[in-house]
Structure 1
Amino acid sequence: MSAVEEKLKAKLRERMGTNSAEMASIRTTSDELREGQQKLKKMLEELETQRNSLQTAVEIYTVKKTELAKALSDAGGTDAPPIDEAIDAAYPLHRQIVMNYAKDLTCDDLIYALGQSLKKRHITTAEYLRRVRDVSREQFIHRATMQKCRRTAGLPI
């Protein structure tokens, strides 16, 4: 019986060793699964936090978009104001200075255009001289008015 006993004990030891190795493997796997579960929980919490912050940002964006749309509709939509109304002087005297300056520059442009017309022979020399004289007279009046307004306003001439 001793040989049979030893065989049984050896088989029992073998099974016990196999079982203990399997149990150790199962414990290791279980520990790894718990660690993975903790990581997943942290990731889910982080994603939830990000989702909440994004949802808040979307709500703020929606509110701001509505405010902007209302402001645009109150401002008159997409129609741009006329350029003459966009630039305006604070005082009538300053407005007069700006208007005379613009008219002076217009006279300069007109004299240049007349010179180009003369070069291309669209107008005669006599016609050129007559028109330049008229425009120069008008330009003189605008410059004199502008200087007088600048003196009155206390601006450098």
Structure 2
Amino acid sequence: MGDRLALALEGPKARNIAQSDRRQGTLISSKGRVAALGLLLAAFLSGCAVGPDFVAPEAPLDAGYAAGKPANITQSAPIAGGVAQKLVPGRDIPGEWWRLFRSKQISALVAEAVSNHPNIAAAEAALRQARETTEADAASFFPSATLSQSVARTQMTTAQFGGFSQSSSSSGPTALLY
């Protein structure tokens, strides 16, 4: 009611602005619905773009990554140890490739780098944590037992055991048997 009173006091211009704001809200939601329906229709029709007789093309055959055939022997250099290297395409490189150099210094440097690398230590810690979590979760599949004990002291009257209760009345003391 306060809105109507404010609109009435401000005049017809304010009423038109308020009414256009309300109408604009419904226009936006209907525009959104039309856009969503259009996207849904486009997605539905794009599934029909490839016919049922579609055959995927064959992958191109390629022998390597180089534009031409690589040389089997590299250039030599006129320095100590600068002999030409022989390349053998198609051979697998071992995991510890630096051992192919037969250099104690390189092997020692790689061993030191691997042993002191923080990412490797973090990965080992994450692996340990995952194993321990798995073991802890596996324990939930086994039966479990819970033992507990408690002690309480209770004071009871003789009446609770079915004994006699003394009471007095106008005719004198009487005994009630429960």
TM-score range for the pair, normalised by the shorter chain length = under 0.3
Question: Which structure features the higher share of strand residues?
Answer: 2
Larger helix fraction of residues: 1
Q: TM-score, normalised by structure 2?
A: 0.25
Q: Which has the higher contact order (CA 8 A, sep 6+)?
A: 1
